[in-house]
Every structure is written in C-alpha cells, then in structure tokens.
C-alpha cells in the first residue's frame, strides 16, 4: 500500500480520501492504521471548513429537550412562566432569564452554557 495521504482541496480529493479511509480501515498493519488516523484528521478538517456546524439556538435546544421528554408547551409553563411566555421563548421573541436558565438546567439537564450564550449575544 502507498505511504501518502490525500490533501483534500476539492470534491474529487474528498471522494478519493473517503475511498482511501475505507481501504485503510480493512488493514491491521501499524503503518496503515497511522495513515488512517492522519487521513481521518484531514477529512475532519476539510469537512469542518466546508460544512461548519451551526450552534443550536436556545429555543431549538428547548424544543429538542421537550420532544425527548415528551413535554408540551403547557408542561413548560412551570419552568418558563406562563403559557404565553413559553410561546414567546420558543418563537425567539423573548430571551431567557437567568432564573429560566437555571430551571432548564436543573429540571431538563440542559447545558446552562448553551442557554447563556444566546442571552449574552442578545
């Protein structure tokens, strides 16, 4: 097997690198395993610049948690205030207060730092 890795600069390189990773994944040779790790890092770096991950907004994070816990907007009223307040928050019309952030963290396990980030930017 060759000893080089593919520097990814375009879609053709990406396809070749993905094929190489598949091929190297079948090998148990230490040199191939090291090459696989290096190529995987190059793939990860290319994908991160090509398709950057978008941070989830607090309202999206809350909706996701509601779905995971089987909660309705009415169920969120004790945490966020009134039903209308829940609606305003889920629609991005009102920022979270520190008390709301603390409650969301304590009751639903949501990472407070992800909820605070939007508040600081607002």
Please tell me what DSSP assigns to residue 110. Answer: -
CA atoms within 13 A on the CB side of 35: 22
Beta strands in the chain (DSSP E): none
Residue 113 has pLDDT above 60, yes or no: yes
- Average pLDDT of the chain is 90
Give the model's confidence band at 3: pLDDT under 50 very low, under 70 low, under 90 confident, else very high: low
Give the model's confidence band at 51: pLDDT under 50 very low, under 70 low, under 90 confident, else very high: confident
| The predicted structure's pLDDT at residue 121 | 47
pTM over 0.75: no
């Amino acid at each position: 097997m060759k000893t080089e890795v593919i520097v990814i600069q375009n879609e053709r390189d990406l396809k070749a690198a993905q094929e190489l990773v598949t091929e190297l994944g079948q090998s148990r040779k230490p040199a191939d395993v090291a090459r696989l790790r290096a190529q995987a890092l190059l793939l990860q770096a290319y994908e991160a610049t090509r398709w950057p991950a978008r941070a989830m907004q607090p309202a999206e994070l809350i909706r996701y948690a509601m779905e995971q816990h089987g909660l309705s907007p009415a169920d969120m009223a004790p945490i966020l205030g009134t039903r209308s307040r829940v609606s305003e928050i889920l629609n991005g019309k009102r920022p979270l207060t520190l008390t709301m952030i603390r409650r969301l963290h304590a009751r639903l396990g949501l990472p407070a730092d992800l909820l605070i980030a939007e508040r600081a930017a607002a």
